[in-house]
Structure 1
Amino acid sequence: MTRSWWGWGRTDRALADDECVELAALIPGLPGRPRAVPRLRDLEVPPSRLGPPSSLPLTTDPAVRAAHSYGKAYRDVVRALAGDLGGAPDAVAHPADEDDVVRLLDWAGTAGVVVVPFGGGSSVVGGVEYRGDRPWVSMDLTRLDRVLEIDRVSRAARIQGGALGPVLEEQLRPAGLTLRHFPQSFEFSTLGGWLATRAGGHYATLHTHIDDLVESMRVVTPAGVHESWRLPGSGAGPSPDRLFLGSEGTLGVVTEAWMRLQDRPRWKASASVTFPDMTTATTAVRAISQAGLHPANCRLLDAGEAALSGASTTGECVLVLGVESAAVPVAGRLAELTGLARDAGGSVAGDPVGGAVDAADAIDAAGAIDAAGAIDAAGAIDAAGAWRAAFLRMPYVRDGLARMSAIVETFETACTWDRVDELVATVQAEVGAAVGEVTGAPGLVNCRFTHVYPDGAAPYFTVITAGRPGSEVAMWDDVKTAASEVLGRLGATITHHHAVGRDHRPGYDRQRPEPFAAALRAVKATLDPAGILNPGVLIDPV
């Protein structure tokens, strides 16, 4: 597998030029040919400002530095396509163990060098770059990639923070266990990255975030090593792990964690339900979320999102339901869920799909996302499967559209059920108006629910519109600012699972209480007195 240095994922999955043109034909006002992808050897990477000691696992190789310059947000893709590598790190570290991490932080603190932890580099919020003037090092943790210990009795494992999703699942497979955490970035993100960003994953209900799967953590800070006790639960004061969950590399480097595991599923089933409008569909999803049936997948797509993914072409909303179990067949539970949806005004599309599967079923990026991607015996992909295929393909589509100067943005939020209808309608109206004002052209503003809870939902919005060559980043910034202001005014979170990074800082500053902000600044000063760890994320740099 060859990772793309400029865009999402693998080079062999990127859209070809003719595919980019075909997609762009659906959006009036775009140029006729895609921007060429620059070759790394033709680009200028600024000279490194560092002469790091040879005893440390550091490289100043220009190609390696270029590949660690940015995450994978739209802004990052456009800058890379423009050949803008002015913000490249001065060096890239590849620690092989925790002792290397300690030595690197000790050196950086003494030398005044900024260190930005880097897992799979899939951040879409500016979380793995540095936007200041100091020399900086990107600390790539993917060599810390082993499952060190499995406790089969307690169903837990001690896993290094640099393990990519497929790598850790492959090591758990012989024990018949799985972490069962599958964000869209599963193939290209690490356990430490999930913990540092409080990532949302596979489950649309119940265990929606990585937080729910943490037993204990080990984190290296400039002030020392933090390690919490392994406990199933504790009421002893504020949780030590909560300090580092979501800390985004600004307080310490996650080197290990004990994670709660599950037996691998043996039964899966899925179904899709159509609704005439979003209000009816939302009522159904709320009933399902409050019924205690905990579907693994409960994704609601509005008409625009359903059409974009190929899940529906009739102007209806689509609800994708999936259930799974390692212990008992799930057909009865799926029937209860589709019954609730039908009672609320939905129409079940075709027959449910699924049944028993091999307990050692393969988990990969194409098949890991959710239980609702089943293919029936005749080989026909149902609406759920069509949605999943589009879900996995969408980051590559975004990159292809970016090459055509389209503006593509996704943002997510969460609010309580009493405000969901108003939030969705307001965001679509006001962000849609902002798109028109910024670009001078209409655009798509679609919505889906990625996760649902008894007390609320997480709406996820997709914006696609034509941009002007050379002005894409500025236009994207304006659209993103408009979206953030709407969410803040409505009291919805600035992010449900994409993290804060640098791009969401203004919204995060509005959301958090000031006494907590003061406490966070004090913690930062205590754990990182030289201010070397990921400055500008969560709080202003010292």
Structure 2
Amino acid sequence: MAENRKRKFWGWGYEDQGPTPEQQKHMAERMAKRFGLGPLELTPAPKESELNLRAPRVKPPAALEAICSTSTHDRAGHTYGKGSRDLRRAFRRDYPNPIDVVAFPRDEKELIAVLEWCDGARIAAAPYGGGSSVVGGLEPPEGDRYRGAVSIDLMHLDKVVEVDRVSRAARIQAGVYGPALDAQLKPHGLTIRHFPQSFEFSTLGGWIATRSGGHFATLYTHIDDFVESLRVVTPTGVVESRRLPGSGAGPSPDRMFIGSEGILGIITEAWMRLQDRPTFRAGASIPFPSMIKAAEAVRQISQAGLYPANCRVLDEGEAFNSGAGNGDEAVLVLAFESADHPLEPWMKRALECCADHGGKIPADAAKTRTDADATHEGSAGAWRNAFLSAPYLMDTVAAMGMVSDTFETAITWERFPEFHRQVMECARDTIARVCGKGSVTCRFTHVYPDGPAPYYTVLAPGKRGSEIEQWDEIKAAVSDKLIALGGTITHHHAVGRYHRPWYDRQRPDGFARALKAAKRALDPRGILNPGVLIDPDPD
């Protein structure tokens, strides 16, 4: 069941990827100097031979044995996602509740057979896309309610089945990874233009199930905007919506499954709205005296209906850490792109908005380019490279015993300044109390006419063996603050298990009852991702 090039079972990417030992040592030296620490020792990455996984509690029927695996690599790799807590448990060699069996159905018929086995045998079933969840969305439930747990990996459902060039849409299997999807669309001159940070190791089905946030910082921000129709396999049958550009016929069936995180069914196919591949580009990095001044400019841009593809504010610390700034100024990474027209008027107006709020406008910033390098150079290029390489560095950060993770949210513009002040104060105070010292930085990942999506990054020295507990304490404090101030517990990272306590407070009670009713109707035995979003019925 394994590829020739093996994925890390414990971290991000392939086994031959990531910083070299020399680079890791250099990172540790820089981190120690930054926080005034003694030498930081790097914990070796775990090996399969060091794991002592519980024996599988269930055995697949003979008809499914050929598509199932119980190897240590597959079971460990499908038990955790790629969040900070996941990495740290892997570094502790701590797998107390592993997935029992990994199923790799090759088509929808085999997927239905796997679900029927799980449903009939009281086995929890966890749909698996690319395994990039950072919120505990993959883990099997604890306790003895279920006889075992099966991870259902759709990696073989990886084709663009049909392309409608006239309507600019395609029917796509849910297990296709981002790069493979883009490669299959390229000969048609099309792209989904949805590039989350996890793009390399995440799938279309995963994006839809978790309401992923993607490339566009404005207008087309979430995968929701691209879904035209869905096909979903549930324990009680197949649900397929009608392919339409829009409909006012009652509540949207697609919306019920978008963001459902695998608790209602497994997405197997989707008709997706596509974009022509951009050929015109314009980009600029604009320094601002403060994060708040940059936010004021971004609000004006977002409300002007200019719809830049990239409109991301980096606070002073975030800009410095990524190489996009000197540490004294916030930076706005701004970019427009089009497959149809030059962009000077849009960029010119956006730069005027920046100047209105103290932004320093670079020379020739409004010039349209027709090559990809337009957004790959200078400060914008430095931020882009740091953004894409960040997942590869998390392994090293975990190995050196640092407490590092993120939390993200969204809030309306009129509340943002005070919201941001209190969240930063809460995070800094908690970091100082829990870790003694550390930093918290902020950037905007997406912006809307009515508010931004701030994304906060924590980095602090950890106490060896207690890094998870330290992060949990920081996470709880800031999450309580986010909810108390009226923000969302997650803008684009999904709920999983880690966000459940705060999602339960954010979610209206009436909606919770409706969601449980939908769960009973589609998954009456509660086998699909139990514990995610809602708890299964006690009976």
- Could you say which residue in structure 1 is the equivalent of 2:379? 383
Give the conservation status (yes or no) of the 8 Å contact 2:413–2:452.
yes
* Residue of structure 1 equivalent to 2:138: 128
1:289 paired residue number: 302
Residue 429 (structure 2) aligned to one of 424, 429, 433: 433
Correspondent of 2:472 among 477, 491, 499: 477
Supply the AA of the counterpart residue of 1:464: L
**Does residue 47 of structure 2 align to residue 39 of structure 1?**
yes
2-structure distance, mates of 1:492, 1:372? 35
The match for 2:319 is: 306
Work out which of the residue numbers 368, 375, 379 in structure 2 matches 1:373.
375
Amino acid at match of 1:67: G
Cα distance in 2, alignment partners of residues 118 and 353 from structure 1? 43
8 Å Cα contact 2:125/2:528 also seen in 1: yes
Query: For 1:286 and 1:30, how far apart are their aligned partners in 2?
Result: 44
In structure 2, distance between residues paired with 1:422 and 1:108: 49
Does 1:173 find its partner at 2:186? yes
The equivalent position to 1:24 in structure 2, one of 31, 40, 43, is 31
Q: How does 1:509-528 map to 2 (within 5 A)?
A: 509-528=504-523
Q: Aligned partners of 1:202 and 1:372: how far apart in 2? A: 16
Conservation of the 8 A alpha-carbon contact between 1:60 and 1:91: yes
Cα contact 1:297–1:372 (8 A) shared by 2? no
- Contact 2:196/2:214 (8 A) holds in 1: yes
The answer to whether structure 1 residue 262 and structure 2 residue 294 are counterparts is no
Q: Report the residue type matching 1:74 in the other structure.
A: S
Equivalent of 1:100 in 105, 110, 125:
110
Structure 2 residue runs without a partner (length 5+): none
User: 2:96 matched to which residue of 1?
Assistant: 86
Q: Could you say which residue in structure 1 is the equivalent of 2:348?
A: 335
| Residue 62 of structure 1: how far off its partner (Å) | 1.7
Equivalent in the alignment of 2:16:
12
Q: 1:314: how far off?
A: 4.3
1:321·1:372 contact (CA, 8 Å) conserved in 2?
A: no
Superimposed CA distance per residue, residues 103-148 of structure 1 (whole angstroms, 9 cap, x where no aligned partner) = 1111100000100001100000000111313310011111100000
Residue 423 of structure 1 is aligned with which of 404, 419, 425?
419
- How high is the TM-score relative to the length of structure 2? 0.95
CA drift at 1:11: 3.2
SS class of match (2:269): strand
How many Å separate the matches in 2 of 1:464 and 1:456?
26
**Which AA in structure 2 matches 1:24?**
M
| Conservation of the 8 A alpha-carbon contact between 2:401 and 2:467 | yes
Separation in 2 of the partners of 1:248 and 1:19? Answer: 39
The residue type paired with residue 226 of structure 2 is L
Aligned letter for 1:283?
Answer: E
Q: What aligned pairs does 1:387-426 form with structure 2 within 5 A after superposition?
A: 387-426=383-422
Partner of 2:124: 114
CA distance in structure 2 between the partners assigned to 1:325 and 1:182 by the alignment:
16
SS in 1 for 2:335: strand
Q: CA deviation at 1:327?
A: 0.4
Does the CA contact (< 8 Å) of 1:31 and 1:405 recur in 2?
A: no
Task: Work out whether residues 285 and 334 of structure 2, in 8 Å CA contact, stay in contact via their aligned partners in 1.
Answer: yes
1:49 maps onto 2:57 in alignment: yes
Q: Which amino acid aligns with 2:333?
A: V
1:493-542 alpha-carbon deviations (Å, 9 max, x no partner): 00000000000001111111100001111111111011100000000133
2:208 matched to 1:195?
A: yes
Question: C-alpha offsets along residues 377-427 of structure 1, whole Å, 9 cap, x if unaligned?
Answer: xxxxx1111111111122222221111110001111001000111111111
Q: Provide, for residues 190-248 of structure 1, a one-character-per-residue CA deviation record: whole Å limited to 9, x for no partner.
A: 00000000000000000000000010000001011000000000000000011100000
Cα drift, residue 88 of structure 1: 1.5
The separation in 2 between residues aligned to 1:2 and 1:97, in whole angstroms, is: 23
Larger CA deviation: 396-405 vs 92-101? 396-405
Residue pair 1:198, 1:499 contacting (<8 A) in 2 also:
yes
Query: SS of the residue aligned with 1:174?
Result: helix
Q: Unaligned regions of 5+ residues in structure 1, if any?
A: 362-370, 376-381
Equivalent position of 2:488 in the other structure:
493
Give the Cα–Cα distance (whole angstroms) in 2 for the partners of residues 169 and 427 of structure 1: 38
C-alpha distance in 2 between matches for 1:249 and 1:211:
16
Identity across the alignment (%): 54
- Between Structure 1 and Structure 2, how many residues are aligned? 524
* 2:287 partner amino acid: T
Q: Secondary structure at the match of 2:348?
A: helix
Match of 1:63, as an amino acid?
A: H
1:353/1:168 CA distance change after superposition, 3 Å: farther
Rounded to whole Å, the distance in 2 between the matches of 1:476 and 1:541 is 28
8 Å contact from structure 2 (residues 9, 74) kept in 1: no
In structure 1, what is the Cα distance between the partners aligned to 2:364 and 2:88?
A: 43
Select the residue among 502, 506, 517 that pairs with 2:501: 506
Query: Deviation per CA, 1:301-357, whole angstroms, max 9, x where unpaired?
Result: 010111111101141000000100000112332122112111221102354387444
| 28-37 or 177-186, larger mean C-alpha shift | 28-37
Task: Tell whether the 8 Å contact from 1:127 to 1:537 is kept in structure 2 after alignment.
Answer: yes
1:433 CA displacement? 0.5
RMSD (Å) for aligned C-alpha atoms: 1.5
Q: Contact conserved, 2:233 with 2:268, CA < 8 A, in 1?
A: yes
Matched position secondary structure for 1:64: helix
Corresponding residue number in structure 2 for 1:378: none
Aligned residues of 2:136 and 2:496 also touching (Cα < 8 A): yes
Distance 2:385 2:350 in 1: 23
Q: CA offset at residue 431 of structure 1?
A: 1.2
Cα separation, 2, equivalents of 1:209 and 1:193: 13
Give the secondary-structure state (helix, strand or coil) at the position aligned to 1:55.
helix
Q: Distance in 1 between matches of 2:471 and 2:389?
A: 21
Aligned counterparts of 2:466 and 2:137: Cα–Cα separation in 1: 23
